[in-house]
């Protein structure tokens, strides 16, 4: 049997999960990572390099803004927030992903037994 994936991020969903995490309020990188891990009960985890590459890319695209502030541990950190454009992108990506998951679940559902 194949190797079971225990955590990570499904390819193509990195931006979606980051945008969703910051939609609930400004967060720094570690806070985003923690929120994803907690909300997914440990299923969704991003490697630091992938997280920060995505944050920089989303900022360059105008989907996130970043401001400096102090973390809970009193360390200087960049806090990321959704822009109006980022919020629109989140809605588009969530709609697509929900439709996709529903389609996959229909494929996975057992066929009803014939009488």
Q: Domain ranges in the chain?
A: 14-108
* Alpha helix segments (H runs only) across 1-115: 14-23, 29-39, 48-60, 84-108
Bridge partner residues of 55 (DSSP): none
Q: DSSP label at 13?
A: -
pTM over 0.95: no
- Tell me the pLDDT tens digit for each residue of 51-99: 999 999 999 999 999 999 998 889 999 999 999 999 999 999 999 999 9
Phi/psi of residue 15, each to 5°? -60, -45
Range 14-108: architecture per CATH: Orthogonal Bundle (1.10)
């Amino acid at each position: 049997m194949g190797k079971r994936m225990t955590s990570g991020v499904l390819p193509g969903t990195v931006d979606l999960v980051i945008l969703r995490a910051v939609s609930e309020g400004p967060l720094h990188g570690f806070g985003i990572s923690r929120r994803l891990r907690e909300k997914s009960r440990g299923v969704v985890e991003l490697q630091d390099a992938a997280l920060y590459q995505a944050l920089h890319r989303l900022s360059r695209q105008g989907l996130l803004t970043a401001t400096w502030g102090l973390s809970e541990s009193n360390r200087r950190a960049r806090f990321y927030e959704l822009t109006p454009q980022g919020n629109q992108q989140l809605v588009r990506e969530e709609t697509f992903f929900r439709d996709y998951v529903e389609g996959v679940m229909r494929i996975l559902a057992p066929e009803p037994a014939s009488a």
